[in-house]
């Protein structure tokens, strides 16, 4: 089942602010939390769905990728389903009630669970690459320009100026959140001093201004294997965006788009084509040459071949992308009727027509005829 739009899940617009997204999530999380709905599978699924949506939309990098490419832009790894670090427990959700009802001062302001502290994995990236049909058949190597966030070389991704380093936050003792006992509940809010990171940079790096990452455009080489098809993707491990706080880089996913060919049609690893044959060759049989991915090949037309007949040429299709052999080429014969004839040619055809037995024609009701194209008919014959 396809995933719902994350903005739809949280019931916010695509222009919603970070605070609106946070408040919408807390409202849904409080409503559907398993602790409040014991045994209700539907509530648990809605809780996880909301948590997944929040994990993406609350992260600036992931939200940017999602807005541009949708779920595919996350590469299957950016959202990852329910993220247990979004809230540490039911008490964390209660910690956000102040924001939900405008009671921020009562709960110490801010509210909400702690952000993930320390190094984090960078976001995955997507690049759409268009190649020709021939390049898909033989494989190719190409260069692409990828804009991405990379670790700052000056501070090595720490965000701190040379000779200094981040220090443990004195307000939360490195936990990233501050907890307050309110009666029977333990309330939690993100530490406002370190913004949930658990550490403080007193002397920011002048190059990245404390972010630990800078925007760069990197030239990468992509090796495309022979036999690749539209929609398949190549994973370049570690070529995504650098992770915050010196975390590992994400991956780059190159999505392939193969241009259509003017002569061949592809179905899996098999290729289909149609060749014109004149009437004498179809009636008497003969040899001709046909185009393949490897150049021209000799092809024998059997005697008495009818228009629409299809022949299989084994091993002349597309290579399997895993390297296990090749598909076949299926050649459909189309008998061509000459538009202009000389007097002698007409006389010969008249003599031939007179010598042939008369054929009876029984029309087929239109309701029994199938309106199928050549490609579909060939697929019915050969499976």
- The whole-angstrom separation of Cα 190 and Cα 313 is 68
Q: pLDDT at position 259, please? A: 95
66-68-69-73 Cα dihedral, nearest 10 degrees: -50
- Do 145 and 44 lie in one domain? The reply is no
* Domain end call among 196, 226, 260: 260
- Do 230 and 123 lie in one domain? The reply is yes
Within the chain, which residues score under 50 in pLDDT?
A: 76-116, 369, 381
- The answer to whether residue 196 is domain-embedded is no
Q: pLDDT at position 351, please? A: 86
- The answer to whether residue 53 is domain-embedded is yes
Cβ–Cβ < 8 Å for 126, 72: yes
**pLDDT tens readout for residues 23-63:** 899 888 888 887 778 778 888 888 888 888 898 998 888 88
Q: pLDDT at position 86, please? A: 39
Q: pLDDT at position 88, please? A: 37
- Do 11 and 75 lie in one domain? The reply is yes
- The whole-angstrom separation of Cα 360 and Cα 358 is 7
Spell out the residues 6+ positions from residue 266 whose beta carbon is closer than 8 angstroms to its own. 133, 229, 272, 318
- Do 336 and 222 lie in one domain? The reply is no
- The answer to whether residue 282 is domain-embedded is yes
Q: pLDDT at position 199, please? A: 82
Cβ–Cβ < 8 Å for 97, 107: yes
- Do 68 and 136 lie in one domain? The reply is no
Q: pLDDT at position 189, please? A: 81
Q: Which two tokens stand for residue 191?
A: 């530490």
- The answer to whether residue 38 is domain-embedded is yes
How many structural domains comprise the chain? 3
- The whole-angstrom separation of Cα 266 and Cα 261 is 9
Q: pLDDT at position 11, please? A: 92
Q: pLDDT at position 113, please? A: 40
Q: pLDDT at position 374, please? A: 53
- The whole-angstrom separation of Cα 165 and Cα 88 is 28
- The answer to whether residue 186 is domain-embedded is no
- The answer to whether residue 65 is domain-embedded is yes
Q: pLDDT at position 104, please? A: 37
- The answer to whether residue 307 is domain-embedded is yes
- The answer to whether residue 198 is domain-embedded is no
- Check residue 142 and give left, alpha or beta (phi > 0: left; psi -120 to 50: alpha): beta
- Do 30 and 136 lie in one domain? The reply is no
Whole-model pTM? 0.58
- Domain boundaries, position 79: 1-86
CATH number, position 26: 1.10.287.110
């Amino acid at each position: 089942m396809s995933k719902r739009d994350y903005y739809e899940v949280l019931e916010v617009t695509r222009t919603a602010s970070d605070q609106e997204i946070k408040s919408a999530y807390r409202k849904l999380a409080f409503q559907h939390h398993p602790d409040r709905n014991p045994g209700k599978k539907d509530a648990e699924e809605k809780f996880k769905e909301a948590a997944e949506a929040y994990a993406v939309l609350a992260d600036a990098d992931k939200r940017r990728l999602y807005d541009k490419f949708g779920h595919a832009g996350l590469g299957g790894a950016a959202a990852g389903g329910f993220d247990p670090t979004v809230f540490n427990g039911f008490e964390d959700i209660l910690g956000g009630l102040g924001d939900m009802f405008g009671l921020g001062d009562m709960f110490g302001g801010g509210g909400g669970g702690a952000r993930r502290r320390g190094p984090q994995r960078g976001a995955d990236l997507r690049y759409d690459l268009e190649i020709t049909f021939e390049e898909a058949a033989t494989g190719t190597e190409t260069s692409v320009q990828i804009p991405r966030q990379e670790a700052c070389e000056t501070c090595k991704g720490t965000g701190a100026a040379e000779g200094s380093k981040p220090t443990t936050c004195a307000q939360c003792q490195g936990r990233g959140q501050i907890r307050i006992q309110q009666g029977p509940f333990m309330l939690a809010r993100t530490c406002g001093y370190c913004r949930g990171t658990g550490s403080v940079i007193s002397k920011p790096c002048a190059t990245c201004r404390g972010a630990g990452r800078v925007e760069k455009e990197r030239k990468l080489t992509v090796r495309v294997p022979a036999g690749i098809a539209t929609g398949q993707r190549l994973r370049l491990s570690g070529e995504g965006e650098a992770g915050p706080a010196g975390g590992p880089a994400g991956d780059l996913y190159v999505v392939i788009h193969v241009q259509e060919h003017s002569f061949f049609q592809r179905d899996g690893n098999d290729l289909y084509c149609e060749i014109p044959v004149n009437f004498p060759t179809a009636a008497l049989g003969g040899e001709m040459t046909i185009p393949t991915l490897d150049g021209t090949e000799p092809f024998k037309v059997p005697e008495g071949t009818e228009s629409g007949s299809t022949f299989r040429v084994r091993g002349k299709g597309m290579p399997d992308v895993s390297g296990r052999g090749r598909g076949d080429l299926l050649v459909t014969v189309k008998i061509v009727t000459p538009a202009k004839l000389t007097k002698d040619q007409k006389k010969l055809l008249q003599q031939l027509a007179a010598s042939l037995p008369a054929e009876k024609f029984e029309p087929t009701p239109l309701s029994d005829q199938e309106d199928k194209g050549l490609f579909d008919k060939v697929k019915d014959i050969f499976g």
